[in-house]
Amino acid sequence: MRYNYKYGMAVDPRMLEHDFESEGLDAIPQILDMFKSIKTIEGFIEKEPYIRYLTNKIWYAINLGKGINLREREKILPVFKEYSRILKQYEKVPNEIYRGVKLPNSYKTLLTDSKEEDLKEILENLAYGLRSWTKDKDTASTWAWDFTRPDTDSVSFKYLNPDYVFDCDSYFSVMDNRLDYVPVPELPFDMEEVICYVKNPKIISIDKKERKKSSKAHFWEVVII
């Protein structure tokens, strides 16, 4: 799985303190140059090994602090649009997708301690931006429910009728058994991953659950459109 702040809203510096320095961004124009000449699925399959290598380099391990950082995340948007242009006929995104968010340690119980009006803005900020979502609710909840940090608030988002950029399962549908010998860490995407650019999230509901009795932190389930 792979926050950003909505332009025009105040950016909490504690979030960006955890950002890393981007690396390998020269891969973006290279990928786009290759896509320029691709008109068919066959043409994509022919160039896929190098496109896969470059995409993996800047996207697959961002949760580990490798690739494109938070500040520059939108720079990769044209790449996902190109994937979708070629693989559109295989895309199939459900009416609900999910995203788990583990807050940095510096946030601790910021959500729990916030006033209602501030809480809504913080959660909208967390939902905003070019992000990796998943079709699987359990994947998102597991990612958010970090048992190693039970004293820190965490969030599981549900996005209704998502306006998505790219359904990564379309890639796996096309490549199929051609990926049998490709190690998972060398893939560009996760199964059931959906890339979304959420520009103006609106919160429909917020449900707060206790994490454990000895902690003041909570697990938040948030529905957006």
Give the pLDDT confidence of 49-80 residue by residue, as tens digits: 999 999 999 999 998 889 999 889 999 999 99
Task: Indicate whether 2 pLDDT > 60.
Answer: no
Query: Cα separation of 161 and 39, whole Å?
Result: 29
Q: Which two tokens stand for residue 116?
A: 């209602």
Q: Are 14 and 104 in contact (CB under 8 A)?
A: yes
Measured in degrees and rounded to the nearest 5, phi and psi for residue 40 equal -135, 165
Return the biggest CA–CA distance within the chain: 58
Give the per-residue pLDDT at 109: 93
More confident: 124 or 213: 124
Token match 């690396």: residue? 23
Band (pLDDT 50/70/90 cuts) for residue 160 is very high
Give the per-residue pLDDT at 16: 62
Query: Cα separation of 37 and 72, whole Å?
Result: 26
Give domain status of residue 2, yes or no: no
Query: pLDDT tens digit string along 13-61?
Result: 455 677 889 999 999 999 999 999 999 999 999 999 999 999 999 999 9
Boundaries of domain holding 209: 13-224
118 φ/ψ sector (left φ>0, alpha ψ -120 to 50, else beta): alpha
Q: What is the DSSP string of the chain?
A: ------TTSPPPHHHHTT------TTHHHHHHHHHHT--SHHHHHHHHHHHHHHHIIIIITGGGT-SS-STTGGGGHHHHHHHHHHHGGG----SEEEEEEEPPTTTTTHHHHS-HHHHHHHHHHHH-EEEEEES-HHHHHHHHS-TT-TTS-EEEEEEES--EEEETHHHHHHHGGGGTTS-GGGSSS-TTEEEEEESS--EEEEEEEES-TT---EEEEEEE-
What's the domain count of the chain?
1
Instruction: Return the percentage of the chain with pLDDT > 70, whole number.
Output: 92
Task: Indicate whether 1 pLDDT > 50.
Answer: no
Query: Cα separation of 64 and 221, whole Å?
Result: 24
Give the per-residue pLDDT at 8: 35
Give domain status of residue 198, yes or no: yes
Give the per-residue pLDDT at 147: 83
Q: Which two tokens stand for residue 51?
A: 């496109």
Band (pLDDT 50/70/90 cuts) for residue 166 is very high
**Mean per-residue pLDDT of the chain:** 90
Give domain status of residue 4, yes or no: no
Query: pLDDT tens digit string along 182-192?
Result: 999 999 999 99
Give domain status of residue 211, yes or no: yes
Give domain status of residue 7, yes or no: no
Give domain status of residue 5, yes or no: no
Give domain status of residue 99, yes or no: yes
- Which of 5-19, 130-144, 150-164 shows the lowest per-residue confidence on average (mean pLDDT)? 5-19
